[in-house]
Structure 1
Amino acid sequence: MPTFNSGGVTIAYQTAGEGPPILLIHGFASTGRVNWWDTGWVKLLVDSGRMAVTFDHRGHGQSEKLYDSALYPAAEMAEDARRLLDHLGIPAADVMGYSMGARVAAFLAINHPQRVRRAIFAGLAQRMITGVGGAQAIALALEAPSRDGVTDPAARSFRIFAEQTKSDLAALAACIRSSREKITVEELAQIRVPVLVVAGGNDDVAGEVDPLVDAIPGARGITLPGRNHMNAVGDRGYKDAVLAFLA
């Protein structure tokens, strides 16, 4: 994968296709490939005539691993996304983030509105405002010698997922301790680009769709029946809703 220097941190990225660009921002403990390529998103967007841009967050995938939690605020991770657009010479792009990636996308839209044409916040809704919680439990689960001793169900699921994605567990523990910062209703009200909010109906991590929709002027929302945090990302209804939104 090609890389670039993002304020002193090496970030790995990939591009595919030609046409209007869409920047895809993956979730915690995932990678650009796992979140967007393996779920069929990149092919879908390329086939619809777009250029898809994915990258691995700092501490994730093939990007540089950092072990100081102070280096992982979501707003700083949004600067990695902005610097990637700079590196690729893209003045503005559509942006879609899933879970932690939705929070990063929101900070990008708030702090650099001229760089975002439209935004999709998926896998994180009401809890973008109220907070997700559980960060310390997840960090401890990631730092445990083995998953066998992890009893917290949510933390255990993240440990299993991180192992499946062959992640650096210590880097992820540092990330989760500072990346789940809340975004206020006042900050969200500053967003003036079209926004689509998507979450599974059974997604306790994301929370309800409507409170986030209500906080963003002109936003619209989709709830995916029967989907949870892990299986919503490849949902056909999610994909259809995004294609319609982008069109």
Structure 2
Amino acid sequence: MQSFTHDGFELTFLDRQPASGEGDPVLMIHGFASSHYVNWVSPGWFKTLNDAGYRAIAFDNRGHGSSSKSYEEADYTPVKMASDAAALLGHLGIGRAHVMGYSMGARIAAFMALSDPDKVATLVFGGLGIGMVDGVGDWDPIAAALLADDPAATSPV
């Protein structure tokens, strides 16, 4: 895993060129309470895209997987999380990529397309509910869940 720092977060990612050489980049954004591994590596999406000739890129959103976590609710907005995705492309020197998002990752991808349309070649949304049609919905429960203590980090009394 590689990492870079953006907006005070250390964000971890995988970046793999296809064996055939340089391929079009595909940025994969995972869902809530998940990681790049659970949504993209384990089910085979990362390998399948890479084997098909694409540059496969997947990262752990802030507060998820191996990326760092904050205890500030304001750090977990779709706009800020979309800026992480755009910053990763900048960090990698990629001007434009295909972007795939699943669930919360689809929402983040949509916000990225709105804030940085020049960086998004195409969008693929998976597991995105009616909220995309009738409104963004309430982001606060997601932010609150990301602020919860990690039970694995506390020792028994």
1:8 corresponds in structure 2 to 8
Residue 118 of structure 1 aligns with an amino acid whose one-letter code is: T
2:36 corresponds in structure 1 to 32
1:102-151 deviation per Cα after TM superposition (whole angstroms, max 9, x unaligned): 010001111111100000011114212434559649957x959xxxxxxx
Residue 3 of structure 1 aligns with an amino acid whose one-letter code is: S
Summarize the Cα distance change of 1:67–1:21 in structure 2 as closer, same or farther, 3 Å threshold. Answer: same
Q: 1: distance between equivalents of 2:148 and 2:92? A: 36
- The structure with the larger Rg is 1
2:75 corresponds in structure 1 to 71
Residue 6 of structure 2 aligns with an amino acid whose one-letter code is: S
2:104 corresponds in structure 1 to 100
Residues 1:109 and 2:113 are matched in the alignment: yes
Q: 1: distance between equivalents of 2:143 and 2:80? A: 21
Q: 2:36 touches 2:58 (CA, 8 Å); kept in 1?
A: yes
Q: 2:30 touches 2:105 (CA, 8 Å); kept in 1?
A: yes
Residue 103 of structure 1 aligns with an amino acid whose one-letter code is: R
Summarize the Cα distance change of 1:137–1:10 in structure 2 as closer, same or farther, 3 Å threshold. Answer: closer
RMSD between superposed Cα atoms in Å: 2.5
Residue 85 of structure 1 aligns with an amino acid whose one-letter code is: L
Summarize the Cα distance change of 1:137–1:4 in structure 2 as closer, same or farther, 3 Å threshold. Answer: closer
Residues 1:57 and 2:61 are matched in the alignment: yes
Residue 114 of structure 1 aligns with an amino acid whose one-letter code is: D
1:143-201 deviation per Cα after TM superposition (whole angstroms, max 9, x unaligned): 59xxxxxxxxxxxxxxxxxxxxxxx47xxxxxxxxxxxxxxxxxxxxxxxxxxxxxxxx
Q: Secondary structure at the match of 1:43?
A: helix
Q: 2: distance between equivalents of 1:48 and 1:133? A: 37
TM-score by length of 2: 0.84
Q: Secondary structure at the match of 2:114?
A: helix
1:115-134 mapped onto 2 (5 Å cutoff): 115-130=119-134, 131-132=136-137
Q: Secondary structure at the match of 1:110?
A: helix
TM-score by length of 1: 0.54
1:231 corresponds in structure 2 to none
Summarize the Cα distance change of 1:49–1:94 in structure 2 as closer, same or farther, 3 Å threshold. Answer: same
Residue 121 of structure 2 aligns with an amino acid whose one-letter code is: R
Residue 128 of structure 1 aligns with an amino acid whose one-letter code is: M
Residues 1:84 and 2:82 are matched in the alignment: no
Q: 2:73 touches 2:143 (CA, 8 Å); kept in 1?
A: no
The structure with higher relative contact order (CA 8 Å, sep 6+) is: 2
1:47 offset after TM fit, Å?
A: 1.2
Q: 1: distance between equivalents of 2:141 and 2:55? A: 37
Q: 2:61 touches 2:81 (CA, 8 Å); kept in 1?
A: yes
- Listed as ranges, the gaps of 5+ residues in structure 1 are 145-167, 170-247
- Listed as ranges, the gaps of 5+ residues in structure 2 are 152-157
